[in-house]
Chain A
């Protein structure tokens, strides 16, 4: 149960951080006219195709006591970043970034540009337009982003193993715990955990699809 609690904590933190960090990036990717935009788009989508071990490997090197991130962390907090919960959050944020960014980019791009023009001529600046027009109209995309980055973090295995290792209560998440138990032939325990994860994943996807199919919406149908 400790592992489940740890996974939930990790996934919630990552989803929250990704909402805050992903929103400005998604806004920029949706509305910028810069010609080199494709570079950042590719970078954002990279974790989708990269093997988790590759990302995990580079993260581990960077976080190690000789890596730039690791040294910075030691200078700031007096201890290393690898094999800690903070390190896990950092690498999970990188790994789940596309799952937060893509739905937000898509929904920001889906907002009628004329509404943004209307907002501007009515005297609203960029931030006000974002809060009062773009965000409310992109709510399904934002919910999707939060839910997907939560679910994706909950289920990740490779990067966690590379960067976090397997320390009970610190970095042993549910997926690692299941693997552990299978290795030690505790099939009953493994099955219980696996069922919980299955149930959570399915409910979470139900939320995503219901929101996007407008089974319920925060405002009246257009």
Chain B
């Protein structure tokens, strides 16, 4: 393997990948991305089918890009022009799958030492010991994956990958199904481990909550392309594409016409769709008469059964409940205010306010809960 000249950071992962997926002869999906991942956690975010797992597979060497170049830790792993394609076992990229893929017939300890077969017995023991401690699973060493709980399995899968001293860590939704507290504890241990190693970690998720919790750099994928990249706030709170907006949990995406700009207040007034509804939204790069997209989360909308008074919120709209649907611990109300809104309320609120279809209601929207979409 030869060194990469001119990389800003030798530890960085850079990948330019183009890969087509064909079904029945026709191209059904194209992954076409160019990303740079610095040491630390970078989140790869997108709806399912956006190409996240394909991207990870290409970096790990489990899938072969049609063309492109992948480099990590100062070495070229793949280069279609120069005919370089390092096989997966030699790439030293660690990969934790969503299903974890722990070997069911091996104990936790044997799983962790699996990648260290070329090391001497003594050194191997030492490394396994250290990583089991770092991820707090040293008590489980003799147990098989079938006898271990979910969160601990995830810890062992992380330990198994990291004990090999990889130059990149790929995580494909490894913490799904864990509660927030457990998740945070594992991520803390991961961060502590990486403080010393400083390798790029690519963390795939489609959960908006995980992005908020991890809160570092985000690369948003949409339909095989990088939709945006940067800090979570920039990438997710100003969603640039409709699909991404929906993936990020903006249930309401409305087309609006800009009426006038109030630069001193940092707001502008817009009219929603063809309705008479006028609301105030944060100032954006737009002129009067322009069309903009406004995204609002269903959980950010307040619902009142009488016209509210004395509110700081600037936007109050009158409407009627079209349908009310109970889903788990949440009720989903569809409200017609001239334009249709989806509003999430608690079942308790439904009972207390005696909400039902046809009920007259007022919706309250804070200006900064209205997000402008390019």
Contacts and interface: CB of A to CB of B under 8 A. Distances in A.
A123 B104 contact: no
Interface in B31-49: none
B339 interface: no
A119 B88 CA distance: 10
Contacts of A125: 89
B89 A120 contact: yes
A115 B103 contact: yes
Interface string A102-140: 000000000010110111111111001000110011000
Given A133-B103, A220-B146, A124 B89 contact: yes
Given A121-B60, A121-B91, A123-B90, A112 B101 contact: yes
Given A122-B164, A220-B144, A221-B146, A117 B101 contact: yes
Residue in A112, A118, A119, A120 whose Cβ sees the most chain B Cβ within 10 Å: A118
A222 interface: yes
Interface centre among B89, B95, B115, by most chain A C-beta atoms within 10 angstroms, is B89
Report, as a range, how many residues of chain A touch the other chain: 20 to 34
A125 B88 CA distance: 9
A124 B88 CA distance: 9
B114 A132 contact: yes
B62 interface: yes
A219 interface: yes
Given A117-B97, A122-B160, A219 B88 contact: no
Contacts of B101: 112, 114-115, 117-118
A61 B90 CA distance: 51
A220 B147 contact: yes
B117 interface: yes
Nearest to B104: A222
What range describes how many residues of B lie at the interface?
Answer: 20 to 34
A123 B164 contact: yes
Interface string B100-131: 01111100000000110110000000000000
Contacts of A115: 101, 103
Contacts of A221: 146
A176 B28 CA distance: 61
B99 interface: yes
Contact of A137 (B94, B99, B104, B164): B104
Nearest to A133: B103
B97 A114 contact: yes
**Which label, helix, strand, loop or mixed, suits the secondary structure of the A interface?**
helix
Contacts of B91: 121
B93 interface: yes
A101 B160 CA distance: 34
Interface string A196-222: 000000000000000000000011111
B146 A124 contact: no
A118 B92 CA distance: 12
Given A121-B91, A137-B104, A219 B62 contact: no
A114 B56 CA distance: 14
Nearest to A219: B105
B60 A137 contact: no
Nearest to A120: B88
Interface in B221-249: none
A118 B145 CA distance: 15
B114 A119 contact: yes
B191 to A, nearest CB: 22
A222 B148 CA distance: 11
Given A114-B99, A128-B117, A220-B146, A121 B105 contact: no
A124 B117 contact: yes
Nearest to A121: B95
Nearest to A114: B101
Contacts of B92: 123
A46 B94 CA distance: 44
Interface centre among A115, A136, A218, A221 (most CB of B within 10 A): A115
Nearest to A139: B105
B104 A219 contact: yes
Interface string B160-176: 11001000000000000
A212 to B, nearest CB: 17
Contacts of B87: 120
A120 B89 CA distance: 5
B173 to A, nearest CB: 13
29 contacts: A112-B101, A114-B97, A114-B99, A117-B62, A117-B95, A117-B97, A117-B101, A118-B95, A118-B97, A119-B103, A119-B114, A120-B62, A120-B87, A120-B89, A121-B62, A121-B94, A121-B95, A121-B161, A122-B89, A122-B114, A123-B115, A123-B118, A124-B89, A125-B89, A128-B117, A132-B114, A137-B104, A222-B104, A222-B146
The 6 lowest CB-CB distance pairs between A and B, nearest first, are A122-B115, A118-B101, A114-B101, A120-B88, A219-B105, A121-B95
Given A124-B114, A133-B103, 16 more contacts: A112-B101, A114-B101, A117-B88, A118-B97, A118-B103, A119-B114, A121-B89, A121-B95, A121-B161, A122-B89, A122-B161, A122-B164, A124-B89, A136-B105, A219-B104, A222-B146
